[in-house]
Amino acid sequence: MADGANALSGYDNSQAEMMAERCILVDLEDNMIGSESKLVCHNEEGLLHRAFSVLIFDSDNRLLIQQRSHDKITFPGIWANSCCSHPLDIEGENGDPIQGCINAAKRKLPQELGIDQDIANSMEFSHLGSFQYKCRWNEEWLENEVDHVLITRVDSLEIFPNENEISGHKWIGPEGIRQVMEGSGEWEGEIVAPWFRLLWREFLAEQYPHFDDIKERDGVVIFGEVSIEGEQFSPGSSLMSALKEHREIVENEILSSLSKIKQERLHGAMKHLFTGGGKRLRAIMPKLVGDAVGGSNPGHNTLGASIEIIHNFTLVHDDIMDQDPIRRGLDAVHVAYDDATAINAGDAMLAVAFEILAESEHIASDDLVFLVKSIGEMVRRVAEGQMIDMEFEKREVVSEDEYIEMIAGKTSAMFETCAMTGAKLSGASEEVVKSLAEWGLNMGLCFQLMDDLIDITGDTETLGKPAGSDILQGKRTLIAIHALDSGNHLPSFTKAYGSGECSPDLLAEAVQELHDNDSIKYAKDRAMFHHSKAHSCLDILEESESLKILREMTDFQLVRIN
């Protein structure tokens, strides 16, 4: 568990302060077993705690839904039910579970929705039941709750939302709710809270809007761990299980390939980054795609190893160009060795990557031509993207479209190639190969946009590289482009941007200005757009356990993956 100061670094001060509140710890039968801070309950693996979800309906059976503030630490910017929060370990809320949740709801509704306290106190709540679920937002934050479902009816209601809690709200009827759950109509591309999906499906979908037929459920409904889409994970089929299962195989292939280099110092430099960990997502991605498309073979592991070696070659050279001293918590190769050795190591890695493809007995000659052409094009696009990125730093104006085009080459090309070649090697049709390539492209765009966000909002220890380096280096990220184009006065950001170095206090003030200017929110929204588009590209494949892994991988792009 990270300490509180590091875990909450870069987040909104009001949201960070609430992380000190003490939640009620429970077992799977919702028996209270203690209490702990909201931070501990939601950080890393978290602790199972009690929560509540309120659904407010008006006299026309419309449901009030809210979009969570983009300043929220967990699940920011997503749409959820009327109010979601926790009873606390305080008098009136830590006794009877149902009454405690009702009392907590009456406390929280005025704070979130601006409802008059007397009106909140007069509300009558029905308890529909409770359910357990665990859902990860990213590697650092998650929800792990027994959630009590509360429903109330109002004739009319004046709402004055707390912008620190809520970014937007709507009253929606049956058709609107259907579109929300399907992601259709105006809700296409929007992210809906997993707990909202679960509670609606379990407690309300069949009876709504006939409230008289809705009966309270006994006991706690157990869902276990779910994805952001509200899908239950099948045992052994989660993304992390798949990565763990295949990682050793592909790592052995990578290290065996690098052992072609006999010169000791050069071999050490080439291996250096591989000792710093990483999930080897790109290395395993071709095989996972192959499995979802129709079947993989050992050639997929060689393909993945080749692309992973090239990926690390680009990191070695990137760190020299950017003069970043840290990578994956280690000294960068040019620091651990020297610039000349690092350049030479990168060159040798590129050569080895193509050599192992040509040597594989599991890759047919026709496929080899396609793979070499595709990977060669990928390397060219990455190099072009890197050069354009460097040129951006010298330009006065960079447009959003130019930035997206740049990261489509520098970052997304590698994801696109992993998916496209993995599908091709499995004998997929041209239509499927094209759709999987588009999936990889959009997943890569989401990845880079989130990577940019985490560079600014993360900390050096967690990132494995200097936090805020994009600001100090004057990188033209989407966040910076939005800030520079806004025309607003951002004195701390202006002073820190491109300065090379500044005090931690000034950098923190610059980040806060980016929050206040909605520049960080803007980049998050664009990342969510590409996340949704990536999911739609997978619709061409038949449902399977392998496809579920690709969807989990798509969700996981909401955070940085090494």
Of 188, 180, 153, residue with least CA distance to 62: 153
User: For the chain, what percent of residues have pLDDT higher than 90?
Assistant: 54
- Specify the number of domains making up the chain: 2
Cα–Cα distance measured from residue 436 to residue 429, given in angstroms and rounded to the nearest whole number:
11
Residue 285 maps to which CATH number? Answer: 1.10.600.10
Q: What angle do CA 149, 150, 153 make, to 5 degrees?
A: 145
Shared domain check, 250 and 219: no
In a domain, 390, yes or no: yes
Among all chains, which residue has been given the structure tokens 């259709």? 184
Give the pLDDT confidence score for residue 236 in this predicted structure.
35
Tally of CB atoms within 10 A around 321: 12
Q: Do both 436 and 317 map to the same domain? A: yes
Do 139 and 250 share a domain, yes or no? no
Among residues 172, 205, 226, which one ends one of the domains? 226
Structural domain contains residue 296 = yes
* Residue 466 shares a structural domain with residue 376: yes
Does 38 share its domain with 121?
A: yes
Is residue 279, in this structure, part of any structural domain at all? yes
Whether the predicted pLDDT of 235 surpasses 50? no
Kindly state whether residues 270 and 204 are assigned to the same domain: no
Residue 200 and residue 269 in one domain: no
How far, rounded to the nearest angstrom, does the alpha carbon of residue 368 sit from its chain's CA centroid?
34
Q: Which residues lie across from 54 on neighbouring strands? A: 83, 150
Looking at the structure, tell me whether residues 409 and 505 fall in a common domain.
Answer: yes
What's the pTM? Answer: 0.61
E strand or H helix at 451, and its extent? helix 430-457
At 462 the pLDDT is 45
pLDDT of residue 28: 80
> What are 93-132's pLDDT values in tens digits?
999 999 999 999 999 999 999 999 999 999 999 999 999 9
Model confidence at 371: pLDDT above 50: yes
How many whole angstroms separate alpha carbon 387 and alpha carbon 339? 19
Quick check: 443 pLDDT over 60? yes
270-284, 402-416, 533-547: segment of lowest average pLDDT: 270-284
| pLDDT for res 96 | 93
Q: Are 267 and 258 in contact (CB under 8 A)?
A: yes
pLDDT in tens, 6-57: 555 555 566 667 678 899 998 888 889 888 888 888 887 788 899 999 999 9
Q: What is the pLDDT of residue 3?
A: 46
Tell me, yes or no, whether 172 and 258 share the same domain.
Answer: no
Q: Are residues 207 and 325 in the same domain?
A: no
Question: Do 121 and 75 fall within a single domain?
Answer: yes
Is residue 272 assigned to a domain?
Answer: yes
Is residue 234 in a domain? no
In a domain, 562, yes or no: no
Boundary residue ending a domain (193, 226, 259): 226
454, pLDDT greater than 90: no
Indicate if the pLDDT at residue 69 is higher than 90: no
Q: Are 484 and 383 in a shared domain?
A: yes
**The domain that contains 123 carries what CATH number?**
3.90.79.10
Query: Could you report the per-residue pLDDT of 206-218, keeping only the tens digit for each?
Result: 878 777 777 788 8
Q: Is the pLDDT assigned to residue 73 strictly greater than 80? A: no
Strand segments, DSSP code E, in 113-180 are 126-136, 142-153, 166-172
> Which two three-digit tokens encode residue 510?
């610059």
The domain containing residue 409 runs over which residues?
239-556
Rounded to an integer, the average pLDDT of 60-75 is: 87
What average pLDDT score do residues 466-489 get? 89
* Residue 555 · residue 445 · CB < 8 Å: no
Q: Compute, in degrees rounded to 10, the torsion defined by CA atoms 37, 41, 42, 44.
A: 110
CB 438 within 8 A of CB 537: yes
* pLDDT surpassing 70 at residue 471: yes
* Domain annotation covers residue 231: no
Has residue 322 been placed in a domain?
A: yes
Tokens linked to 179: 């579109």
Quote the pLDDT of residue 165: 85
Domain endpoint, select from 226, 249, 278:
226
